[in-house]
Amino acid sequence: MNGFALGVDQETWCGQLRALSADRLRPLAEKGEPGRVNRPLLAALGELGLLERVFTAGALELCLLRESLAYGCTEAETALALQGLGAYPVLRAGSAEQRERWLPGVRAGRAVAAFALSEPGAGSDAAALELAAAPAPGGGWLLTGRKRWISNAPEADFYTVFARTGEGPGAKGVSAFLVPADRPGLTGEPLDMLSPHPIGALAFDAVPVGPADLLGEPGRGFRVAMDTLNLFRPSVGAFAVGMARAALDATLAYTAVRSAFGGTLSDLQAVGHRVAEMATRTEAARLLVYAAAGAHDAGSPDVPRRAAMAKLLATETAQYVVDHAVQLHGAVALQRGHLLEHLYREVRAPRIYEGASEVQRSIIAKELYREAAAG
């Protein structure tokens, strides 16, 4: 990457991914059941080597991957991202035994991973989680409580679970565990959500975990969560940019040929100005996502601020672009099965998950004041 311009090889790769997602992955996605894990789709992502790229790519490459897949098949993008989100803590903080046991299956699309942080009373305020990890009589801990709005639940094969072990107040008393789905006392149920990908709730009834299940050190689980989110937040922005670009291109194609008032919609200044605004915002969001990814890959200390800015602007922009694309298409875009009807349902959730827009603004402000105080 030279400045903010992609190289020829990168542009070629992104074009290949867009074609692959539309031609190879979208048909598999369309055969899946909304709200359920699509294992044939995951297997295809593994066979194509795309899941492997999630664990070997830097932040910029991950963003290019997610943006390109989202353009052609949002279900494929989401399935890939959820594998990364659920398993990345194992890659970064897991033991050799944990990595050897689970990561080959995740990379191949055979084992389904899930990131279990949110709770009924602790969504955006992740440090307020209440899932209790009480000391067990024979050693280890017993997990008791609930998780909610967990992607891939309850069908995942294992969960990265964050629980309160109590080494300190707030975030200092949180530990991370790798919990297989067949662990006794762990149950779950699907939630009927607006987004088409699987989301569920989990109940922990004295679920036993031991030192071998820890991801990292006791009391350091919140750092495991934040390291994961700092990588994936810019790429959530890339997912949003992919949706915005798909909506923009659909709008350009439609308004150029749709007859209206003796010409085409594109002849109307109001339409042209609207499309220009959509394109400008999309490009601005795309560049900010790349800048945040580049900062992450360079080890910059301002990654939390840049990641929050990228996710905030890109997800808010995608909402704007998709909404105006629907408006310019009219009623046809509201029909079930239309690309924009699909994107309209998909685009809303990213403004909430992995830190709502309001949380991103708080992070940005906090980081700005911290940097100012440091001189």
Which residues have a catalytic role annotated?
Answer: 354
Give per-residue burial for 110-139: e unless 16+ CB within 10 Å, then b.
ebbbbbbbbbeebbbebbebebbbeeeeee
Backbone angles phi, psi at 161, to 5 degrees: -110, 135
* Counts for the chain of helices (H) and strands (E), in that order: 12, 9
Look at strands 132-135 and 186-190 and give their pairing.
unpaired
Helix (H) or strand (E) run with residue 132 in it: strand 132-135
Whether the CB-CB separation of 142 and 208 falls below 8 Å is answered with: yes
Look at strands 174-180 and 186-190 and give their pairing.
unpaired
Tokens of 157: 């094969």
Torsion sign (Cα): 143, 149, 155, 160? negative
- Report CA-CA distances (Å) from 70 to 38, 237, 286: 16, 11, 13
Whole-angstrom Cα distance, residue 40 to residue 43?
5
The single residue listed with the structure tokens 């194992």 is: 90
Whether the CB-CB separation of 160 and 89 falls below 8 Å is answered with: yes
Whether the CB-CB separation of 40 and 75 falls below 8 Å is answered with: no
Whole-angstrom Cα distance, residue 23 to residue 253?
20
- Single-letter residue type at 108: A
For residue 268, the SS3 value is: coil
CB contact set of 105 (below 8 Å; sequence gap of 6+) = 111, 157
- Single-letter residue type at 237: G
